[in-house]
């Protein structure tokens, strides 16, 4: 094994002592400054570079939103809010953080099945855009609007008649709990008009974690064409056409980063058609993982080093209760190791498994990987951990302590 850091993109450097550098400092110092392990570290400069880099390439007429469910840590959301055009929330809890961030309510949207009456009323009062996902939501929004003396702002979330090919997680096509089936959209649009809601556009989200530009381009085109079919049924002009996102990041050495060029070109083409198809409208893409995933590290410390029948196990003070996705239990079909590295390089290399303290074989952060050799007390890093980490993990399972998070 080469003395590389272990991350797939080779994006993280080591200092002369072999320690990983985070925000310009050796990892051990950063960890000490945030109060020890286990912890998530989110690199502020990397988030900034990623979001700015993408936004600069987006054609005018295309807005970039951050989907907060990828990582709702308040300090991170506040930072990202200053770099994007809007925030997408999926609960009243996320809505509170979004409003705290200083993002203008006009630029916040709310999607998700099963929004409660209270959540919908909160959304109306806040003045955010609600992506309607059922006929029931129309009535609830109309009543909330009457009570508050406000006109609820809505877009229609569509369950498309197709799915996003090659997606890590499909969220459209066939029978789904998300959105309203495309066939029912004409009827829904009529009800929105009758209820007197403020129609603003469509929301179409086909899937997540996609590394194939051709699949993303095709989905965006088909979403655009789909929305055109309802041209004569609109209760009000389309202002916002949300084409979803689904941009993925690589997790294994075999995965190549998404080639953004064709996706940007396609968005440019659609943005050019926009003024004639829907004058005054803009396109939105909403991304979570792509904006923050690569900027995050999950850091734990070796508690015990065990050899079982010739196999080395590094038992660490963190695991699936903090980072379910890294153990392969967050929707993955096949378990693959996340990129993992040891924060020292002076003891040679070996094949080792990294496991957490939970009494279940699922608590496996690295399965027989080639790693630098580690002893008790050494730090273990899981890369690509900025999205779907702490908030997407069963932190109560086995009643171990929670994990700290820091924006560094
Ligand atoms: C989860 C979700 C996202 C974010 O997906 P990523 O793969 O993290 O970019 C965006 N929009 C909706 C509607 C979602 O449910």
Write the pLDDT tens digit of every residue in 114-133.
999 999 999 999 999 999 99
Nearest atom, ligand 1, residue 387 CA: 8
What is the CA 269 to chain-centroid distance, rounded?
26
Of 67, 77, 68, nearest in space to 286 by CA? 67
- Cα–Cα distance between 216 and 246 in angstroms, integer? 8
- Cα–Cα distance between 14 and 81 in angstroms, integer? 30
Which residue ranges form the domains of the chain, and what is each CATH number?
2-42+294-407 (2.40.37.10), 111-287 (3.20.20.10)
CA of 288 to the centre of ligand 1 (A): 6
What pTM, to 2 d.p., does this model score?
A: 0.96
- Cα–Cα distance between 302 and 37 in angstroms, integer? 10
pLDDT at 6: 66
**Contact between residue 13 and residue 285 where contact means Cβ atoms under 8 Å apart:** no
pLDDT digits (tens, 9 = 90+) for 132-181: 999 999 999 999 999 999 999 999 999 998 877 777 777 777 889 999 99
Ligand 1 site, residue 199, Cβ cutoff 6 A: no
pLDDT at 150: 98
pLDDT at 69: 98
Cβ density class 331-354: b for 16+ within 10 Å, e for less: eeeeeebbbbbbbbbeeeeeebbb
Q: Which DSSP category does 20 fall into?
A: B
Whether a cis peptide bond, with omega within 30° of 0, leads into 178 is no
The tokens of 232 are what? 């004569």
pLDDT at 168: 74
pLDDT digits (tens, 9 = 90+) for 332-356: 889 999 999 999 999 999 999 999 9
pLDDT at 3: 39
Cβ density class 283-306: b for 16+ within 10 Å, e for less: bbbbbbbbbbbbbbbbbbbbeebe
Of 69, 198, 192, 218, nearest in space to 134 by CA? 192
Of 403, 376, 400, 363, nearest in space to 302 by CA? 376
CA of 368 to the centre of ligand 1 (A): 31
Percent of the chain predicted with pLDDT > 70 = 98
- Cα–Cα distance between 353 and 312 in angstroms, integer? 6
Ligand 1 site, residue 112, Cβ cutoff 6 A: no
CA of 244 to the centre of ligand 1 (A): 8
State the pLDDT confidence band at 8, using cuts at 50, 70 and 90.
low
DSSP letters along 244-282, please? EE-B----STTPPPP-HHHHHHHHHHHHHHHHHHSTT-E
The tokens of 345 are what? 């390089």
pLDDT digits (tens, 9 = 90+) for 183-219: 999 999 999 999 999 999 999 998 899 999 999 999 9
pLDDT digits (tens, 9 = 90+) for 282-320: 999 999 999 999 999 999 999 999 999 999 999 999 999
**Contact between residue 141 and residue 135 where contact means Cβ atoms under 8 Å apart:** no
- Cα–Cα distance between 354 and 340 in angstroms, integer? 9
Ligand 1 site, residue 72, Cβ cutoff 6 A: no
Nearest atom, ligand 1, residue 90 CA: 15
pLDDT at 5: 58
pLDDT at 339: 96
Nearest atom, ligand 1, residue 291 CA: 9
Q: CA angle, corner 69, sides to 123 and 136, nearest 5?
A: 40
The tokens of 235 are what? 């209760």
Of 70, 62, 244, nearest in space to 167 by CA? 244
- Whether 360 shows a pLDDT value over 60: the answer reads yes
What is the CA 252 to chain-centroid distance, rounded?
18
Ligand 1 site, residue 30, Cβ cutoff 6 A: no
pLDDT at 167: 72
State the pLDDT confidence band at 1, using cuts at 50, 70 and 90.
very low
pLDDT, the chain, mean: 95
Beta partners for 245? 286
- Whether 2 shows a pLDDT value over 50: the answer reads no
Of 121, 158, 163, 127, nearest in space to 142 by CA? 121
- Cα–Cα distance between 216 and 203 in angstroms, integer? 15
pLDDT digits (tens, 9 = 90+) for 384-393: 999 999 999 9
Query: Residue 53 belongs to what H/E stretch?
Result: helix 44-57
CA of 247 to the centre of ligand 1 (A): 9
By most ligand atoms within 8 Å of CB, the mutation choice from 111, 164, 243, 245 for ligand 1 is 245
Of 175, 172, 179, 122, nearest in space to 152 by CA? 122
pLDDT at 161: 87
Non-local (6+) Cβ contacts of 342 within 8 A are: 6, 371, 372, 373, 374, 378, 379, 380, 381
pLDDT at 350: 98
CA of 32 to the centre of ligand 1 (A): 33
pLDDT at 120: 98
Mark whether 359 is an active-site residue. yes
**Contact between residue 37 and residue 318 where contact means Cβ atoms under 8 Å apart:** yes
DSSP letters along 264-330, please? HHHHHHHHHHHHHHSTT-EEEEEESHHHHGGGEEEEEEEEEEEEETTEEEEEES--TTT-TGGGT-S
Ligand 1 site, residue 341, Cβ cutoff 6 A: no
pLDDT at 9: 64
Nearest atom, ligand 1, residue 289 CA: 8
- Cα–Cα distance between 173 and 175 in angstroms, integer? 7
């Amino acid at each position: 094994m080469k003395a590389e850091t272990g991350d797939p993109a080779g994006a993280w450097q080591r200092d002369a002592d072999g320690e990983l550098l985070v925000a310009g400092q050796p990892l051990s110092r950063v960890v000490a400054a945030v109060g020890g392990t286990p912890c998530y570290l989110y690199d502020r400069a990397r988030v900034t570079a990623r979001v700015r880099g993408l936004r600069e390439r987006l054609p005018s007429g295309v807005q970039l939103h951050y989907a907060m469910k990828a990582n709702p840590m308040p300090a991170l959301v506040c930072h990202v809010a200053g770099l994007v055009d809007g925030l997408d929330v999926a609960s009243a809890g996320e809505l509170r953080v979004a409003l705290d961030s200083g993002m203008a309510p006009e630029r916040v949207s709310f999607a998700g099945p099963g929004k409660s009456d209270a959540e919908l009323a909160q959304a109306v009062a806040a003045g955010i855009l609600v992506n309607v996902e059922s006929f029931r939501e129309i009535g609830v929004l109309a009543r909330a609007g009457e009570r508050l003396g406000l006109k609820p702002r809505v877009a229609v979330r569509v369950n498309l008649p197709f799915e996003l090919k090659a997606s890590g997680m499909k969220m459209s096509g066939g029978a789904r709990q998300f959105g309203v089936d495309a066939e029912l959209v004409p009827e829904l649009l009529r009800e929105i008009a009758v209820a007197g809601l403020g129609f603003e556009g469509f929301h179409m989200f086909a899937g997540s974690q996609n590394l194939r530009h051709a699949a993303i381009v095709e989905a965006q085109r088909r979403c655009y064409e789909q929305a055109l079919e309802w041209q004569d049924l609109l209760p009000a002009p389309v202002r916002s056409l949300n084409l979803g996102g689904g941009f993925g990041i690589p997790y294994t050495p075999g995965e190549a980063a998404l080639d953004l060029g064709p996706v940007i070109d396609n968005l440019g083409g659609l943005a050019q058609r926009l003024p004639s198809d829907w004058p005054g409208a803009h396109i939105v893409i909403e991304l979570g993982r792509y904006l923050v995933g690569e900027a995050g590290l999950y850091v734990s410390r070796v508690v015990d080093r065990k050899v079982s029948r010739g196999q080395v196990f590094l038992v660490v003070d963190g695991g699936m209760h903090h980072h379910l996705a890294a153990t392969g239990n967050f929707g993955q079909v096949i378990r693959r190791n996340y990129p993992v590295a040891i924060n020292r390089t002076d003891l040679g290399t070996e094949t080792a498994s990294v496991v957490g303290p939970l009494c279940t074989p699922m608590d496996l952060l690295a399965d027989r990987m080639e790693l630098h050799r580690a002893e008790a007390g050494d730090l273990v890093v899981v890369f690509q951990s900025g999205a779907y980490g702490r908030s997407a993990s069963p932190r109560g399972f086995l009643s171990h302590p929670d994990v700290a998070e820091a924006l560094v």
